[in-house]
Structure 1
Amino acid sequence: MEFDLESQPEIVQTIAGYAIQGYELALTWLLSPAAWSQFGLLIVAYLAAVLVTRRLRPTLANLLDPGESDSIIAQARRFVAQFLPLLLPLLAYAFTGIGESVVRSIFDSGAVIAFGKRVFLFLAARALVRDIIHDPFLKLLGRFVLVPIAAIYALGLLDTLSATLTETVVGVGNIRFSLMTIVRGVIAGSLLFWLGQWSNKQTATIIAQQKEMRPSIRQLLIKTIEFTIFAVAFLLLMNIMGINLSALAVIGGAIGVGLGFGLQKIASNFISGVILLVEGQATVGDYVELDGGEAGIIVKMTARAAILETYDGRWIVVPNEDFITTRVVNYSDSGSANRYEAPFSVSYDTDINTVPAIIEAAVATHPDVLDEPYPPDCELRGFGDSGIDFAVEFWVNGVDDGPNKYTSDVLFLIWNALKDNDITIPYPHRTIEVSGELRTRPE
């Protein structure tokens, strides 16, 4: 078959060349007894795989079904069971391999059956992406990377494409890459950093379950392991791409200069975050109040800042440096309690000597009021315009805000205790004195 393609673009000539090669190969297979025998073996291998799969798959599914158990062995059985959709293409590949050895011994040729084996591998890759992988990122990577590579391999063009990508070189400054290096780096980098994220999540879950450790130590371990995992992933990626790390010395020097000038605040906040985690003065779950007026529960600590959540649902991003350079009040430090007071007044007709015992006994009935470091203490504060002023001091573990309304609860207890003992709570009275003779207006 001859075509005059000299006037056509190079890409058209290349595609036409592959098309002609494919046509000639197909024609050769159609006219070859060896090719027909290999086609027959492929069909036999596939039908045998279908029959074996129909009998074997239900048995394996019952064998691997762990029921409702959640043990390590049960989880391993569930993991293996999800690969059952690969049984058919892999059995077809195995049976085809057996047939290939027979065909090569008879005809000294196995091109058709080798093509069939590659097709079965493509079907296995497609089943893996379609039926087994559920993670969105891995499914996307499989759909647009694994399946196309398997298809190119099935057509026998993978080596040609690989050689072309290897010969095509691009450069950035003094650093030069082949397109194959970039493709390999993108694929390996995606897998490595996904694996790093997954392993970091699993490790963080395990560390978070260690309740005997201080929260600050848990956070420090999580951040250290996260940094280590991604540092190792980066070094592995550089090794896979074949990049000499000494070539990055200039870039590293530029980054160092940037940290020294433009990024000094980021570096300061990062170091402050490490100090916070090591010292444990403030950690996730603590209620803190800063000198600048920011107050809330620390819900997250990042490399740059801490996230405070106020009781009205707002999030405040506070740089880590502020925890080091300013005064911080921590209401939730481990092992500490907080003291509050509830003021009230009684009328001047009251026997004030009985008030402290009544109020202290009433407040002590609250389930969250502590006896240590001090029990409730009712004190006389002064003599007001309308009544005698008292206040009761009490200690609790927690902050008097959000879900905890300690002062409100204590005031209810005081009100009920005073009512039960017939003690009057005063309200303002005003006495008006009129001097001189009152004059009435004539009618």
Structure 2
Amino acid sequence: MFENIQIDLYLESLITKLGNNIFVWSNLIELIIITFFLILAYFINKLIFKQVRELLSKIDFLDERKQFRIIDQLLYPLILMFLIGVYYIIAASFAIPAVIISIFGNLVSAWLLVKALSLFFPRNKMFRFLSALIWLIAALRILNIYQETLNLLESLAFHSGNLRISLLMIIKTVIIFSILFWLAGKLSRLVTNKIDNSEELTPSVKVLLNKIAKFIIFTAAVLFTLSSVGVDLSAFTFLGGAVGVGLGFGLQKIVSNFISGIIILADKSIKPGDVVEIDDVYGWVRKLDTRFVSVVTRSGKEYLIPNEDFITKEVINWSYSDELVRVEAKVGVSYNSDLRLVQKLMQQSIESKTRILDKPEPNVLLMGFGDSSINFELRFWISDPQNGIQNIRSEVLLSIWDYFQENEVEIPFPQQDYHLKSLPAELNNYLKKKNEVK
């Protein structure tokens, strides 16, 4: 079955190719040096591990887990890079071949960069994209076609007015923007945490500063990206007129809500935690956004109300100047009731309610004499409107009902009496016949 295969010739050809291309003395010497560097870097890593660990422990913002990851992933490739750098200096001084060492150096550089990325990027799409890019650049350098590839990408271009857009520019823009956008997100979260942890700023000022900081940081990332790839930013000045037209038409409501949000934050009329009432919505403010205010009701519904409504409509802020809120409970009693007893019973109905304040004092007022009842009003104060107003009013009214039932105080309902002065003749005759039958 295998009689036609000339194994001897195949092995001889393979050995010849290896001898002519791989197993030359210069390459073998470099491979031995690389092996020596790998072993030497391992022992140096073990030797200086503790010293580097102690040095990193002096950096306050690095916890113990972060310190170990840095040393574990970066120390060994860093030592290898140092040894390769020393070899390059010696090779340049004495004209020693460094072809294999150069390839090895590119691989170690790519490995080091990927390890460094893993410390800051989670292993998501961005990490895989940047890792693939690093290994691709390393491969191009090993094949010695890196500059030729850049020239090819630069030649694939088109013109848009005075702006020249090449494939290389697009790739550089995507890479730089991805990195800067990630850095902007990290910086934005850091600034936000600093502002939120400040005890000297009010909640509304914190929200305003956070929005301004995010806008500045991400705008700077975009502008720096365009500038770094050689785009003349003055070429975008024509966008000013287009933006102006857009603000006047399509973006009118968005800009109106954005400006209204800034006004709300500046005058501090609404802030997170306030209890507000607008139209038929009653609840507490969860957060202020650039476009809307999030209001959560007692039933758990979250309304996203446009900022403009808080400027143009009537808004009740139950906790604007303070959180003291007066609640009224109106009750009517019959005309044969003991009014002094009614006042006493209504006063007793709030004595066991922990939410009702003693100061200011509750008060029971006789409001007037109605058509069917004598009207009273119980006024009391609470300091936690975020916990609800209708519920405490309901509790008080139920207590009043119980006290009135126990003391036989009547709550009347509307009544009307009709007096007939005359009746039609037919109705009179009918009623007389009915009486005669009886």
TM range (shorter): 0.7 to 0.9
Which segment drifts farther, 40-49 or 231-240? 231-240
**Contact preservation (8 Å) 1:369, 1:394:** yes
Shift of 1:306: 2.2
Distance 1:223 1:271 in 2: 12
Distance 2:18 2:340 in 1: 111
| Alignment partner, residue 45 of structure 1 | 37
Shift of 1:178: 2.1
Which segment drifts farther, 194-203 or 410-419? 410-419
**Contact preservation (8 Å) 1:383, 1:389:** yes
| Distance of aligned partners of 1:110 and 1:146 in 2 relative to their CA distance in 1, 3 Å threshold | closer
| Alignment partner, residue 352 of structure 1 | 339
| Distance of aligned partners of 1:369 and 1:60 in 2 relative to their CA distance in 1, 3 Å threshold | farther
Distance 2:241 2:89 in 1: 58
**Contact preservation (8 Å) 1:122, 1:154:** no
User: What is the correspondence of 1:92-241 to structure 2 with a 5 Å cutoff?
Assistant: 92-130=80-118, 133-134=121-122, 136=124, 138-241=126-229
Aligned residues: 405
User: What is the correspondence of 1:86-97 to structure 2 with a 5 Å cutoff?
Assistant: 86-97=74-85
| Alignment partner, residue 395 of structure 1 | 381
**Contact preservation (8 Å) 2:156, 2:166:** yes
Which segment drifts farther, 328-337 or 26-35? 26-35
User: What is the correspondence of 1:255-270 to structure 2 with a 5 Å cutoff?
Assistant: 255-270=243-258
Distance 1:244 1:26 in 2: 53
| Alignment partner, residue 30 of structure 1 | 22
Distance 1:414 1:72 in 2: 67
Query: What SS does structure 1 have at the residue aligned with 2:198?
Result: coil
Aligned to 1:253, which of 224, 241, 249?
241
**Contact preservation (8 Å) 1:346, 1:425:** yes
| Alignment partner, residue 272 of structure 2 | 284
1:410 partner letter: V
**Contact preservation (8 Å) 2:357, 2:382:** yes
Give the structure-1-normalised TM-score. Answer: 0.76
**Contact preservation (8 Å) 2:30, 2:100:** yes
Distance 1:169 1:427 in 2: 88
Q: Which has the larger radius of gyration?
A: 2
Shift of 1:107: 4.4
Distance 1:425 1:65 in 2: 81
| Alignment partner, residue 378 of structure 1 | 364
**Contact preservation (8 Å) 1:385, 1:428:** no
| TM-superposition CA deviations, 1:154-194 (whole Å, max 9, x none) | 55443332222223223334421222221111111112222
Q: Which runs of 5+ in 1 are unaligned?
A: 1-24, 431-435
Distance 2:371 2:51 in 1: 88
| Distance of aligned partners of 1:256 and 1:132 in 2 relative to their CA distance in 1, 3 Å threshold | closer
2:329 counterpart of 1:342: yes
| Distance of aligned partners of 1:172 and 1:76 in 2 relative to their CA distance in 1, 3 Å threshold | farther
Query: What SS does structure 1 have at the residue aligned with 2:60?
Result: helix
Query: What SS does structure 2 have at the residue aligned with 1:318?
Result: strand
Which segment drifts farther, 235-244 or 351-360? 351-360
Q: Percent identity?
A: 29
| Distance of aligned partners of 1:141 and 1:415 in 2 relative to their CA distance in 1, 3 Å threshold | farther
| Alignment partner, residue 314 of structure 1 | 301
| Alignment partner, residue 423 of structure 1 | 407
Give the structure-2-normalised TM-score. Answer: 0.77
**Contact preservation (8 Å) 1:41, 1:96:** no
CA RMSD of aligned residues (A): 3.9
| Distance of aligned partners of 1:233 and 1:133 in 2 relative to their CA distance in 1, 3 Å threshold | closer
Q: Which runs of 5+ in 2 are unaligned?
A: 1-16, 416-430
**Contact preservation (8 Å) 1:29, 1:36:** no
Distance 1:72 1:101 in 2: 33
| Distance of aligned partners of 1:86 and 1:116 in 2 relative to their CA distance in 1, 3 Å threshold | same
Shift of 1:112: 1.4
Shift of 1:52: 3.2
2:312 counterpart of 1:330: no
Query: What SS does structure 2 have at the residue aligned with 1:342?
Result: strand
Distance 1:376 1:402 in 2: 18
Shift of 1:212: 3.8
**Contact preservation (8 Å) 2:333, 2:374:** yes
| Distance of aligned partners of 1:139 and 1:403 in 2 relative to their CA distance in 1, 3 Å threshold | farther
1:273 partner letter: G
Query: What SS does structure 2 have at the residue aligned with 1:308?
Result: strand
Query: What SS does structure 2 have at the residue aligned with 1:226?
Result: helix
1:189 partner letter: F
2:178 partner letter: S
